[in-house]
Amino acid sequence: MATKRATRKRVTTPKSAKRPSARKAATATKNGALGEYNRKRDFTLTREPAGRVPATRTKALRFVIQKHAASHLHYDVRLELDGVMKSWAVPKGPSLDPSMRRLAMEVEDHPIAYNTFEGTIPAGEYGGGTVMLWDRGTYEAEDGGGVTSLREGYRRGDVKFILHGKRLHGSWVLVRMKRPGRPQWLLIKHRDEYADSKRDVTEDIRTSVATKRTMEEIAAGRRVWRSNR
């Protein structure tokens, strides 16, 4: 008597399930370093880099300043520290005048990969608006104490540093104010050979340090990052 051979039903895996989603790839950092950055973004939709802390770092610490026309025009000042970019939104931008104390609102840490972004984030998305790479370079602790000094300064709320940028140079300080809520700091230029009380550097320099484009030219470009809240 012939027996029927059991047939195995073929299961087709949806294409979307064949590759791990970027959102799952970022799960490990949801509650750790870059956790807030990752929670604000859906990496199945956005071209922004998922927040990951690199295994190794370069010898020189990097900084970047991005001009950002979101709901309000401001400048994002970012300093590399412990594998992330410590970030502050500075409404009026940096000033070369030591008598000027620029409000700097601390925001979530950003990944180091964010340092190369210039383009537009669509209106209605998180951080929607045009982003320009306004300045970039390396920086160091003012006292020569390296990462240890910068880390302690950040913990204490008094970060003294020297910028070696394409546009900004010399000694600066970020001082945390004692106010409730999200940490608020002051960005101040120290008195040195790069201080200039007569020059408005944000008015003088209106083009990208990377592409020489204006904000209007960047807005008209094709590079778009999408994200959601």
Q: Which pLDDT score, from 0 to 100, does residue 112 have?
A: 92
Q: Which pLDDT score, from 0 to 100, does residue 222 have?
A: 55
Q: Is residue 123 part of a domain?
A: yes
Q: Which pLDDT score, from 0 to 100, does residue 123 have?
A: 79
Instruction: Give the 3-state secondary structure of residue 32.
Output: coil
* Number of independent structural domains in the chain: 1
Q: Is residue 161 part of a domain?
A: yes
Q: Is residue 91 part of a domain?
A: yes
Residue 125 has pLDDT above 60, yes or no: yes
Q: Is residue 5 part of a domain?
A: no
Q: Is residue 173 part of a domain?
A: yes
Q: Which two tokens stand for residue 54?
A: 């690199």
Q: Is residue 172 part of a domain?
A: yes
Q: Which two tokens stand for residue 33?
A: 């370093």
Q: Which pLDDT score, from 0 to 100, does residue 187 have?
A: 98
DSSP 64: E
Residue 23 has pLDDT above 70, yes or no: no
- d(CA 6, CA 8) in angstroms, rounded, equals 7
H helix intervals, the chain:
15-18, 22-25, 35-39, 146-156, 201-204, 215-219
Q: Is residue 205 part of a domain?
A: yes
Name the pLDDT band for 14 (thresholds 50, 70, 90): very low
Q: What is the mean pLDDT of residues 22-46?
A: 52
Residue 121 has pLDDT above 90, yes or no: no
Q: Is residue 14 part of a domain?
A: no
- Cβ neighbours of 49 (radius 10 Å): 20
Taking CA atoms, 141 is separated from 15, 56, 97, 147, 212, in Å, by 49, 20, 21, 7, 29
159: containing domain: 56-219
Q: Which pLDDT score, from 0 to 100, does residue 50 have?
A: 56
Residue 47 has pLDDT above 70, yes or no: no
Q: Which of 68, 72, 33 is nearest to 51 (CA)?
A: 33
End-to-end CA distance of the chain: give it in Å, rounded.
Answer: 65
Q: What is the pLDDT of residues 154-168, one digit of tens each?
A: 999 999 999 999 999
Q: Which pLDDT score, from 0 to 100, does residue 7 have?
A: 46
